[in-house]
């Protein structure tokens, strides 16, 4: 207990609490920690989005492969094959997917029915492209018979290397979309990879 009549000095007051400088330093340290957590959360959300798109891309490639296998009389053709094509139209942010011969005979709202396997293929591709364009930003899809889907460095490439009539190569599905650039120093529009390389390459065994 403090004896009666003794007053608290300024020195004792300073020793019994925090100074303004200490409080400011604490706030600065806390702010740095919070900013670091926000940055980590942002990176985690970005990585989660990229992983989700990659999963969707693989899912769509497998679905396209199942369509080709299910209609193999048409899927095996090297010409007049609706499953083969470069379906991207536009470029950059205006990229969209379309087929030269859209068909809606498989739609429950269509007044007509599919009259041939070729028309079935056209309708399947029409529906598949519409859904892929909706889920994959800036999507590009190329399908072809390809003998070299990867370049000399093992990287996927859009260009298709044609084989011979007897050995045309494997039916290959290539899908790309707008992703974050691997160049982390890039900013603005350059920070996005506008499907310069396929993100998913799937070749079908005969």
The pLDDT tens digits for 28-43 are 888 787 777 766 666 6
Q: Kindly state the helix (H) or strand (E) to which residue 75 belongs, with its residue range.
A: helix 72-75
The answer to whether position 66 is within a domain reads yes
Cα–Cα distance, 136 to 134 (Å, whole number): 6
Rounded Cα distance, 22 and 196, in Å: 53
Q: Are 116 and 82 in contact (CB under 8 A)?
A: no
Distance CA 42, CA 107 (A): 41
Query: Whole-number mean pLDDT of the chain?
Result: 84
- Predicted confidence at residue 123, as pLDDT, reads 96
3-state secondary structure at position 137: coil
More confident residue, 201 or 47: 201
Q: Are 167 and 67 in contact (CB under 8 A)?
A: no
CA distances from 12 to 7, 15, 86, 100 (A): 10, 5, 81, 86
- Domain membership flag for residue 176: yes
- Domain limits at 133? 56-204
Pairwise pLDDT comparison (90 vs 142), residue with the higher score: 142
Does 30 reside within a domain?
A: no
Structural domains of the chain, count? 1
Considering the domain boundaries, does residue 64 fall inside one?
yes
Contact assessment for residue 168 and residue 39, using Cβ atoms and an 8 Å cutoff = no
The pLDDT, as a whole number, for residue 33 is 74
Looking at 6-71, list the stretches that DSSP marks H as alpha helix, in order from N- to C-terminal side.
Answer: 10-15, 20-70
19 within a domain of the structure (yes/no): no
Asked if residues 138 and 92 have their Cβ atoms less than 8 Å apart, the reply is: yes
Query: 31 lies in a domain?
Result: no
Cα distances (Å, whole numbers) of residue 109 to 99, 112, 134: 20, 9, 20
Q: Do 176 and 153 meet the contact criterion of CB atoms below 8 Å apart?
A: no
Distance from C-alpha of 192 to C-alpha of 99, rounded to nearest angstrom: 26
pLDDT digits (tens, 9 = 90+) for 163-183: 898 899 999 999 999 887 666
Q: What is the pLDDT of residue 134?
A: 92
Q: For residue range 69-101, what is the model confidence (pLDDT) as tens digits?
A: 999 999 999 999 999 999 987 665 566 788 888
Q: Does residue 4 belong to any structural domain of this protein?
A: no
Q: Are 198 and 151 a contacting pair, CB within 8 Å?
A: no
Domain contains 69: yes
Q: What is the mean pLDDT of residues 111-117?
A: 92
pLDDT in the model for residue 158: 95
User: What pTM did the predictor assign?
Assistant: 0.76
């Amino acid at each position: 207990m403090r004896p009666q009549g003794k007053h608290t000095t300024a020195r004792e007051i300073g020793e019994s609490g925090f100074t303004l400088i200490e409080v400011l330093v604490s706030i600065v340290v806390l702010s740095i920690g919070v900013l670091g957590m926000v940055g980590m959360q942002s990176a985690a959300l970005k990585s989660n989005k990229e992983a989700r798109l990659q999963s969707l891309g693989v899912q769509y490639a497998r679905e396209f492969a199942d369509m080709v296998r299910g209609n193999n009389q048409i899927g095996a053709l090297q010409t007049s094959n609706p499953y083969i094509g470069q379906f991207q139209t536009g470029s950059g942010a205006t990229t969209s997917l379309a087929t030269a011969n859209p068909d809606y005979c498989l739609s429950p709202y269509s007044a007509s029915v599919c009259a041939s396997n070729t028309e079935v293929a056209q309708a399947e591709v029409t529906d598949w492209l519409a859904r892929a364009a909706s889920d994959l930003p800036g999507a590009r899809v190329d399908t072809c018979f390809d003998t070299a889907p990867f370049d000399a460095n093992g990287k996927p490439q859009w260009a298709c290397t044609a084989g011979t009539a007897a050995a045309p190569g494997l039916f290959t599905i290539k899908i790309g979309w707008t992703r974050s650039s691997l160049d982390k120093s890039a900013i603005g529009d350059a920070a996005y990879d506008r499907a310069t390389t396929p993100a998913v390459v799937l070749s079908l065994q005969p």
